[in-house]
């Protein structure tokens, strides 16, 4: 079989022995995420036809207005993970606290916790622009057979055993890693099957795209301002092209394919940045490093940061290695 005709299910089975904790549980977990992704994809594609656009009327723990599709995606992923009885805990960007999951026949015997951003870029929903889902998987560190605690979720990104995202765009793709490179699978909507379409994905060493919300320029640290001016300067292979979608999944996905850097720095109005360490930065950092890229907060490796709270925010620089290193040089000169 041509490797590009391989289904996600076949790929998981074929490669599960390469995973250091090969017991079949992680494979079932990825399959649960695959199922939820197909359900959410179906709902996203109905936007505009049924009443799932607009605000839900509530705010999440971050103080952000929840969109109807935020709520729906959150429900679908939590339901899929609970129903398969393969996780002992779930943390979602849309939930105030983590969820402890008990299995009917083996209470708290499951070994994995999942952290998820069910619908990244939800401000784009109403205008038909790509959105996504981000997930991060860890082995629990509290004893099996006991309820999960906050300690199981507050682990540094280097402890991740798997991470990935789904991008709902012109086609729907699931991209993930278990520590052996990054592979992308595209959904064939006619038969509801994901096929391997992007094997062994890698960031080009450098690129010509920078992705940042330049509307916040006046609030950025001087080092970030200087790096943006560097990107815009007509010299050597510059100026670079500015591309910013406002959905981390979409910006990251484009930059991994074409070469580029994504930045969400701290600012005078957001001292810790905006992105969440556990739901967004750690999984994307894991993917980036597995794809020959780099991720930092401007000074240190993202996956070395010890989390202190569930919804912690950090500055984020991620993408082609040489571009991230150049941004760090400017940050070091003028923090």
Q: Which residues are annotated as a binding site for substrate?
A: 120-123, 213, 244, 274
Enumerate the known binding-site residues.
Answer: 93, 117, 119-123, 213, 244, 274, 280
Enumerate the known binding-site residues for Mg(2+).
Answer: 93, 117, 119-120, 280
Please state whether the peptide bond connecting residue 63 to the residue before it is cis, i.e. omega within 30 degrees of 0: no
Tell me how many degrees the CA angle 113-141-295 measures, rounded to the nearest 5.
65
Which residue in this structure is represented by tokens 């793709």?
173
**Sign of CA pseudo-dihedral 226, 227, 228, 234:** positive
CA distances from 308 to 94, 156, 160, 311 (A): 18, 10, 17, 9
- Name all contacts of 141-147 with Cβ < 8 Å and 24+ positions apart: 144/88, 144/108, 144/109, 144/110, 144/111, 145/107, 145/108, 145/109, 146/108, 147/100, 147/108
Which residue in this structure is represented by tokens 């849309």?
94
* Beta pairing, strands 87-92 & 112-120: parallel
| Main-chain phi, psi angles of 314, to 5 degrees | -145, 155
Query: Are 322 and 290 contacting, i.e. CB atoms less than 8 angstroms apart?
Result: no
Q: DSSP per residue over 189-226, as a string?
A: TTTTEEEEEEEEE---SS-SEEE--GGGGGGS-HHHHH
Calculate the CA 179 to chain-centre distance: 15
């Amino acid at each position: 079989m041509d490797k590009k005709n391989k289904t996600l299910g076949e790929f998981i089975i074929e490669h599960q022995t390469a995973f250091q904790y090969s017991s079949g549980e992680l494979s079932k977990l990825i399959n649960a995420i695959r199922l939820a992704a197909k359900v959410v994809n179906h709902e996203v594609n109905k936007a505009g036809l049924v009443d799932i656009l607009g605000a839900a009327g509530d705010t999440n723990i971050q103080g952000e207005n929840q969109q109807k599709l935020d709520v729906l995606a959150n429900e679908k992923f939590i339901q899929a993970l609970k129903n398969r009885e393969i996780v002992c805990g779930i943390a979602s960007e849309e939930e105030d606290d983590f969820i402890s999951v008990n299995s009917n026949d083996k209470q708290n015997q499951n070994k994995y916790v999942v952290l998820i951003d069910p619908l990244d870029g939800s401000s784009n929903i109403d205008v038909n622009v790509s959105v996504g889902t981000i997930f991060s998987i860890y082995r629990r560190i509290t004893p099996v057979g006991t309820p999960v605690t906050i300690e199981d979720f507050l682990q540094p990104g280097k402890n991740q055993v798997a991470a990935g995202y789904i991008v709902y765009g012109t086609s729907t793709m699931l991209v993930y890693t278990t520590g052996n490179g990054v592979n992308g699978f595209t959904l064939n909507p006619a038969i509801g099957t994901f096929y391997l379409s992007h094997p062994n994905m890698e960031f080009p060493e450098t690129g010509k795209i920078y992705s940042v919300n330049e509307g916040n320029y006046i609030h950025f640290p001087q080092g970030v301002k200087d790096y943006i001016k560097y990107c815009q300067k007509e010299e050597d292979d510059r100026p670079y092209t500015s591309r910013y979608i406002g959905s981390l999944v979409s910006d990251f996905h484009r930059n991994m394919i074409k070469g580029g850097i994504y930045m969400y720095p701290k600012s005078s109005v957001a001292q810790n940045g905006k992105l969440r360490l556990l739901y967004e930065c750690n999984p994307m950092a894991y993917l980036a490093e597995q794809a020959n890229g780099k991720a930092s907060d401007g000074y240190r490796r993202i996956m070395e940061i010890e989390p202190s709270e569930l919804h912690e925010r950090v500055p984020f620089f991620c993408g082609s290695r040489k571009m991230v290193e150049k941004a760090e040089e400017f940050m070091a000169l003028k923090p």
